[in-house]
Structure 1
Amino acid sequence: MAEIALAGATAALRQTVGVLGNLVLKEGSRLSRLQEDIVWIGREMRHIQAYLEDAEAKQGGSRGVANLVIEIQDLACDVEDIMQKYLPRIASHSGKKFLGCLKSASCIVCYGYDARNFAVEIEGIKRRVEDIPRVRQTYGINEPNGSRGRDMCDEIRILPHSDEPNVVGFEGHIEDLVAKMLNEELQCRVISIIGMAGLGKTTLAKKIFQSAQHNFERSAWIYVSQQPNIKELLRDIAGQVGLEKKKWEENFNVNLSAFLSQHRYVIVFDDMWHIGTWDAIKNVIPTNTENGSRIILTSRNNCVGTYVGTHVGGKSSLHELRPLNEENSRKLFFERVIVEASDPPQLKTVGEQILKRCGGVPLAIVLAAGLLLSTDRLENAWKGILEGMGQDQDQCSKIFGLSYKDLPTNLKPCFLYFGLFPEDHEISAFKLVNLWAAEGFIRGSGVREVEDVGDDYLNHLIARNLIQVVRRRFDGKVRSCRIHDILHNLCIREAKEINFFNTQSDVITCNRGTGVRRVTTHGSNFEDYISLNYPTPRLRSMLSFSGNLRFVRRKMVKNFLRDFEFLRVLSVKCDYLPRALPNEVGNLKNLHYLGLGSRGYIEIPHTISNLKGLLTFDVQGAGVILPDVIWTMKQLRHILLPLYCVTNLHRTFHRIEICLPNLQTLYGLTEVVRCDFNFLHKLVNLRKLHVKFSSERIIEILSDPTLGLTKLEKLVLLNAGGEMLRTLNLSRYENLLTLKLGHFWWFRSELPRHHKLPPNLTKLTLFRNFLQEDPMETLKELPRLKILKLYSNSYLGSKMVCPGAPGCNFPQLEVLKIDRLEGLRELIVKEGGMPRLKELGIFQCNPITRVYVPDRIKNIMEIDNYR
């Protein structure tokens, strides 16, 4: 990962050299030594970068080269740390301020102290650089011959990728298991899918679940993993099956069990490792009902499947997956890697040899296919991949490792970062990209924003089959993703090898001691880690996914924050963080990402204004008391606030100048009647705006034709009702694709006319708007609307009609979802209306609701009116 550190060090060097150039002209020999050191570092960094790029591409199986690369990577990271430490001090002495400062004795001493320490640090770096040739010569370390790896993602073709689960070879399994799921006469209540890792257990379970889900009243998909938090697992089930929130607080287990007993449910427990996990949850999941409820289980251990089936009062249907046969292996492989007549004649032969080494393991096959699709279609290039797979029995592991080693250098740290998350964790793409940006793995350009570059990086990893898409947004962009547990283990193994990150359990035993750069904790409490008080002065990232019901003491957090000079990422999720975040958070001068989650309130101190490099401020997972200074932090790109946020907005906007020129995301903005929201005129780069409490003033500002939010893509207005909603005019927002309008209380509203809505609106969500007029009459005119969701009393009428005149009745609509419209008695879609509809869902409305639609729509309709 040295190339990332080198890039960061190079950027810091450029700034430093610029500052020094001006100072040397004014101060002459006083600064000439400092300038020499900076120039030397720049020259050596370029040489080191070139060496590493070649060595990483050529090292093959050479242990000596690998160790040398690790040492040089550490050296590059240390150089970046030095520049990060001294750059602000050098810059603070620039210009007239610097010349005036040198006149005072104290400033001269201060400057001399910094310059001397900087020189000492550089001397240490010089000795380490000079030692590199000696080590190579002494131990005979020579890089094997090989072609240089590609560095830029631009050279990789964007490959077509489908999120549809691969089912090659599973057709018989699917037909048989779906039949058993739906046959209520069978005693089998558990479908157990077992087999070694990589055979497609989750894929098969997903296909069965998707095929049969609509036949059950309630459903849930639960990722279990090796060390599950049973309480969080049960809460996840409760959320997915729809248990009322008020029943979560007291007697939760009893309430969940009673709720499930009343419904026909299907629950998938994916990747269950241990019998003890089932023992911990079996008293909450009712398994003695005769209503046809089902459990689907996947496991690598057939004993787990047999045990669960035995303990639910019925037989278990045990399905053991085995590697694909030769026919299905070829089908899966050559559906992805199409060898054309124009290709070299030996290409297919080499492809067959590569396929044979995959051993019929689907994951290995798709990864090998991803490797070939990102490689030149030349015989020698494909043979290089074949040779990298090795000849031993553990060829699949070689394929997994080769998929990582074949990545361009700038994608490798992005891939390894997945290992910081818990196993089977669903990862928000938005959060992931912002973490990459905070680490410096991705950088924008004059043409493209850093977030767009991050999306490209993620898509490259998906195209290589290294990352799985969990959910996509309506526009095709990735909403969330996951990594297969085999590749998750690969991330952890490779990360430890190069000291990229460490888990909490191995920080103390880490053989590099104070060289720990990143730490992740999950499955244990954050307080357990910080109480160790283990010295990690070079720490750059701290991610915690704890969830135990314990308070983290303020004194411990205060001590923890005191000495992290190089920390860039702090993302902590605990049940109870201290109410008052210590002022010491202001010491984290290089922090770029701050994410906090807690059940209680967190008071953010004013010292947060010291974080001049902070890009993302995410406190969605906690109640927050927010300081005024947050609105003056010019560099912020993303502000995400929670539902419960105490802020001084009504005073702030009159006292200080709101200045957030780089802001792209403002989530959870609290509207206060006494506020003037003219500051929105200054947010020229805003892409996403979420307002919690809307008023006539903010509607007026958003409707102002002089408002320059030309980049706005998503707008959420909550509690915007009555007359004010009708006056909303968004006709100028050509880039606004997503709009959500809703209310928390009973407040009758009226939609604006269609010509006042965004001209390119693609997705519209309405909830609790209590409309009296049929919304179809207005919305049918929207020319680009693809997704329409009408939720929770968004409409009070009893009849909803989509006319059939072609051309102007939802011409592009593909998805219509209607949920909890309690007064709806009749839905009519006339012939010719909604010509492109692909999905119609009606959920939890009224059992007597009648639906009249053309035959073409009946086949795609799903109705679930269980109350």
Structure 2
Amino acid sequence: MFGESGIGKTTLMRHIYNKMEKKKQFEAQAMESFAPYLTATNILQQIVQQLTDDDTNCPKEMARKMLEDRLRNKKYLLVIDGEVSGTEWKNILTSLPIGIRGSRVVHITQGKPEEPPSTYHHVTIQLKKLKEEAAMSLFRRRLPKELQDKNFKIYQKDICQITQGLPLAVVLLSGLVQAKEFPSEWVKVFEYLKAKKSTRLEPMLSVCFDDLPHELKCCFLYFAALPTNTTIEARNLVFMWVAEGFLRSKGGKTMEKIGYTYLIELINRNLVNRVKMDDDSSFGSMSVTIQNKVHDFLQIEAHEASFVEVHSGDDIPTLTSARRLSLQNYTDKYAVLANPLPKLRSIFSQYEQEPKGDLGRRSKRRPLMFYLSHGKAISKKKKDIRSHIKELFHGSEFLRVINLQGIEIGETLTSAIGNVVHLQYLGITSCSLKYIPRSIGRLTSLQTLDVRETNVRKLPRAFWMIKTLRHVLGFVLELPKQIGNLKQLHTLDSINLEVSVLALDGTLGEMIHLEFLSIWHISVVNVAALSVALEKLESLRTLILQGEIIPFKVFTTFSLRRVKFLFLSGDLLHSSDLDGREALCLPNLIMLSLEKTYVTQEFINKLSELPFLTTLALYPGSYKDKKLLFSSSRFQRLKKIKVIDVEILERVEFELSVLPELQELEIHSHYTSCHHDIDVSNGKKHAKKTRIVVDLKKENALYEENADVSEWWMIFS
């Protein structure tokens, strides 16, 4: 699929991809957006990381084998979004195993792609600009609901003349005018843009940028420091804004809440795109991206304002006065660190490139090795990277943000990290890092540590004594027996209780301002201690619990009344106790996900007491009866129900009268798979629909009573 920048290639493909995911037409599927011209190895590594479990790290040297293991003899869909050289594209294709008939590989690019090897059947799709009616429809859909019903006929020619039918221009204009008073200020915007008499996007982007409040401009410019065409985790972005000092608490809101408010404003203006991979996601898992043309504009603005220096070429510029440095080139990117950078405050880098020339053909040659005195061999390239980073830590003492992703620096982070005493954000992810030195305890201003998709499982005791910690991101990190005063900690994702001491009230229970908590490997020996600790955590908004057993008190503990997102995987101990008179104490719960909980019909009925529950997801092992009914208890706000591969379940029945807000059903089993979007437009909520029954034992076995099938979108695989 190809077309000019801004034509909507990624948006269209992501929409199709999400539909395919709901249909379950592929046994394995992954969609990744990449910075331009990464190597096949880096691309395959990121795809494998998406296809594997969270606790599995994918070293580059294992990427091809791991990919083959996960796709062999399966029907798969892979979407690769980004510019890839012809050589690397052929390397990717030859690395993919032969899948079952119907497997697909989609490449999204701006220019017409090269033809693949003759053994591959391929179809080339070119996207073109929108016609007038389609452009107006898109413009209207991107407006707030209160503006969508306005009469835009008198503005139609202006809108189409300004945007020229380019979807990006249409949504940017829609985002700009919705911040203006209708209709008086709209006319001024249209007249100004028409006076520019330019079909280029720059004038509109300039107006959109200038229209931002001052406090949002720095946050928006920050995207220039991050690679183009990549998805960015929302919470990490906000954490970096906090570390940079862009945000200040006000009106009783934390810096993070202010940051999310700013991000939503940028999304509403269509300057930033929310990646809607799953509408169940909270801010803890939301990702965003910006369009390539917008990214190019921001890099120019950021350079002119001396906001960030982007090293994207093969030259080595003089950067002694740089305050923020983004390494976005892929040939010897770390050579720029050979010169002192005394004023540097932030550094960013994503994925190292394989060496070119002879070093790039290591599959046919023996690798160049550097032999250490103790007999272990490491590549000279990795030694140089570690050396440059060590010098950076020694010479840039004012660093506040370090964000290195996919950079192989060895198993141990250099102890020189302790010299960067002003550091507030440290992110080293997607690599083989295993050990963090004790010197990290000297970082008395550190707010965020991110070591996800690494092999780090234990952090030094000195780290847990840092009082300024706000966000700790890793995977199944060992919780120490003793911690410092961590009352500022907001995010703990995730910890491992398998090796923890039983007394948790003095460690986990002391983190009284936690808002996001993820815990793995809960067992019988520590479930009671966990229940006691949870009673102290009154600020929790997102709670993820996984293990052999889950304390049922999460539903009845008054201290968890602020929880909005609850994900449980494990036997819900004594859930039958909830079937009686005891009331549920989760008045703010929006989303509930159950897996291996083995609850009963009575428990499901009890969930109707949750006044704001909008999404209920039932995964394998979540339910232990053969029949699931939504008929007797009224769910006032429930909009989406997912029933995914619940093994014992044979039949699901829905009485739509008890589900007045239901909009979407998604049901999958070994026999049948269906997805329904329910039309509730024009105020006719379920006017012709009263009951839905799905027989999971029979293929395509669904029937509806008094239902207008034409109003449903139904898919059976």
Match of 1:818 among 631, 643, 649: 643
Hey, what does 1:637 align to over in structure 2?
470
Hey, what does 2:417 align to over in structure 1?
585
Hey, what does 2:595 align to over in structure 1?
767
In the superposition, relative to structure 1, how do residues 558 and 319 fare at CA in structure 2: closer, same or farther (>3 Å)?
closer
- Contact (CA 8 Å) 1:726, 1:751: kept in 2 or not? no
Q: Cα offset for 1:827?
A: 2.6
Hey, what does 2:449 align to over in structure 1?
617
- Contact (CA 8 Å) 1:566, 1:588: kept in 2 or not? yes
Task: Note the alpha carbon deviations across 1:430-461, whole angstroms, 9 max, x for none.
Answer: 00111111111121125211111111111111
C-alpha distance in 2 between matches for 1:208 and 1:562 = 49
Q: How do 1:94-109 residues align onto structure 2 when only pairs under 5 Å count? A: none
Hey, what does 1:665 align to over in structure 2?
491
Higher relative contact order (CA 8 A, sep 6+): 2
Structure 1, 621-630 or 547-556: larger mean CA deviation: 547-556
C-alpha distance in 2 between matches for 1:835 and 1:617 = 44
Q: Cα offset for 1:697?
A: 7.7
Hey, what does 1:196 align to over in structure 2?
4
- AA aligned opposite 1:788: L
1:839 and 2:646 are equivalent in the alignment: no
Match of 2:219 among 414, 418, 427: 414
Q: Cα offset for 1:660?
A: 1.4
Hey, what does 1:79 align to over in structure 2?
none
Hey, what does 1:233 align to over in structure 2?
43
Task: Note the alpha carbon deviations across 1:584-632, whole angstroms, 9 max, x for none.
Answer: 3222222111112254454333333332322212222321431223333
- Contact (CA 8 Å) 2:136, 2:156: kept in 1 or not? no
C-alpha distance in 1 between matches for 2:113 and 2:410 = 44
1:561 and 2:390 are equivalent in the alignment: no
C-alpha distance in 2 between matches for 1:199 and 1:640 = 36
- Contact (CA 8 Å) 2:37, 2:85: kept in 1 or not? no
- Contact (CA 8 Å) 2:637, 2:660: kept in 1 or not? yes
TM-score by length of 1: 0.65
Hey, what does 2:566 align to over in structure 1?
739
Hey, what does 1:788 align to over in structure 2?
616
Hey, what does 1:514 align to over in structure 2?
320
C-alpha distance in 2 between matches for 1:481 and 1:420 = 15
Q: How do 1:839-858 residues align onto structure 2 when only pairs under 5 Å count? A: 839-843=664-668, 845=670, 849-850=697-698, 854=704
C-alpha distance in 1 between matches for 2:71 and 2:311 = 37
C-alpha distance in 1 between matches for 2:425 and 2:108 = 36
* Secondary structure in structure 2 of the residue aligned to 1:801: strand
* Secondary structure in structure 2 of the residue aligned to 1:515: coil
- AA aligned opposite 1:636: L
Hey, what does 1:485 align to over in structure 2?
292
Hey, what does 2:269 align to over in structure 1?
464
Task: Note the alpha carbon deviations across 1:151-171, whole angstroms, 9 max, x for none.
Answer: xxxxxxxxxxxxxxxxxxxxx
Hey, what does 1:126 align to over in structure 2?
none
- AA aligned opposite 1:828: V
C-alpha distance in 1 between matches for 2:241 and 2:53 = 36
C-alpha distance in 1 between matches for 2:433 and 2:57 = 22
* Secondary structure in structure 1 of the residue aligned to 2:404: strand
- Contact (CA 8 Å) 1:554, 1:580: kept in 2 or not? no
Q: Cα offset for 1:664?
A: 1.3
In the superposition, relative to structure 1, how do residues 696 and 846 fare at CA in structure 2: closer, same or farther (>3 Å)?
same
Name structure 2 gaps, 5 residues minimum: 355-378, 673-695
* Secondary structure in structure 2 of the residue aligned to 1:677: coil
* Secondary structure in structure 1 of the residue aligned to 2:94: coil
Match of 1:360 among 161, 165, 169: 165
Hey, what does 1:67 align to over in structure 2?
none
Q: Cα offset for 1:665?
A: 1.3
In the superposition, relative to structure 1, how do residues 768 and 861 fare at CA in structure 2: closer, same or farther (>3 Å)?
farther
- Contact (CA 8 Å) 1:267, 1:294: kept in 2 or not? yes
TM-score by length of 2: 0.78
Q: Cα offset for 1:541?
A: 0.5
- Contact (CA 8 Å) 2:541, 2:562: kept in 1 or not? yes
The number of residue pairs the alignment matches comes to 646
- Contact (CA 8 Å) 1:840, 1:861: kept in 2 or not? no
C-alpha distance in 2 between matches for 1:752 and 1:783 = 21
Q: Cα offset for 1:499?
A: 2.1
- AA aligned opposite 2:3: G
C-alpha distance in 2 between matches for 1:392 and 1:485 = 23
Match of 1:494 among 298, 301, 306: 301
- AA aligned opposite 2:590: T
Match of 1:541 among 342, 346, 351: 346
- AA aligned opposite 1:633: I
Hey, what does 1:278 align to over in structure 2?
89
- AA aligned opposite 1:321: L
* Secondary structure in structure 1 of the residue aligned to 2:214: coil
Name structure 1 gaps, 5 residues minimum: 1-192
Q: Cα offset for 1:514?
A: 1.3
Hey, what does 1:36 align to over in structure 2?
none
C-alpha distance in 1 between matches for 2:311 and 2:396 = 17
- AA aligned opposite 2:7: L
C-alpha distance in 2 between matches for 1:642 and 1:259 = 22
In the superposition, relative to structure 1, how do residues 389 and 233 fare at CA in structure 2: closer, same or farther (>3 Å)?
farther
Structure 1, 573-582 or 424-433: larger mean CA deviation: 573-582
C-alpha distance in 2 between matches for 1:662 and 1:456 = 20
C-alpha distance in 2 between matches for 1:502 and 1:692 = 41
- Contact (CA 8 Å) 2:641, 2:665: kept in 1 or not? yes
C-alpha distance in 1 between matches for 2:518 and 2:566 = 10
Hey, what does 2:359 align to over in structure 1?
none
C-alpha distance in 2 between matches for 1:573 and 1:247 = 13
* Secondary structure in structure 2 of the residue aligned to 1:678: coil
Q: Cα offset for 1:410?
A: 1.8
Q: How do 1:422-433 residues align onto structure 2 when only pairs under 5 Å count? A: 422-433=227-238
Structure 1, 388-397 or 484-493: larger mean CA deviation: 388-397
- AA aligned opposite 2:439: T
Structure 1, 420-429 or 679-688: larger mean CA deviation: 679-688
- AA aligned opposite 1:482: T
* Secondary structure in structure 2 of the residue aligned to 1:829: strand
Hey, what does 2:575 align to over in structure 1?
751
Match of 2:25 among 216, 234, 238: 216
Q: Cα offset for 1:841?
A: 3.0
In the superposition, relative to structure 1, how do residues 483 and 312 fare at CA in structure 2: closer, same or farther (>3 Å)?
farther
C-alpha distance in 2 between matches for 1:704 and 1:715 = 15
C-alpha distance in 1 between matches for 2:49 and 2:457 = 24
- Contact (CA 8 Å) 1:604, 1:624: kept in 2 or not? no
Q: Cα offset for 1:467?
A: 0.8
1:828 and 2:638 are equivalent in the alignment: no
Hey, what does 1:106 align to over in structure 2?
none
- Contact (CA 8 Å) 1:688, 1:714: kept in 2 or not? yes
Hey, what does 1:714 align to over in structure 2?
542
- Which of 1 and 2 has greater Rg? 1
In the superposition, relative to structure 1, how do residues 383 and 423 fare at CA in structure 2: closer, same or farther (>3 Å)?
same
- AA aligned opposite 2:11: T
- Contact (CA 8 Å) 1:350, 1:383: kept in 2 or not? no
Hey, what does 1:685 align to over in structure 2?
513
In angstroms, what is the RMSD of aligned CA positions?
Answer: 4.1
1:205 and 2:31 are equivalent in the alignment: no
- AA aligned opposite 1:398: P
* Secondary structure in structure 1 of the residue aligned to 2:592: strand
Hey, what does 1:628 align to over in structure 2?
461
* Secondary structure in structure 2 of the residue aligned to 1:802: strand
- Contact (CA 8 Å) 1:601, 1:625: kept in 2 or not? no
C-alpha distance in 1 between matches for 2:272 and 2:554 = 45
Identity of aligned residues (%): 26
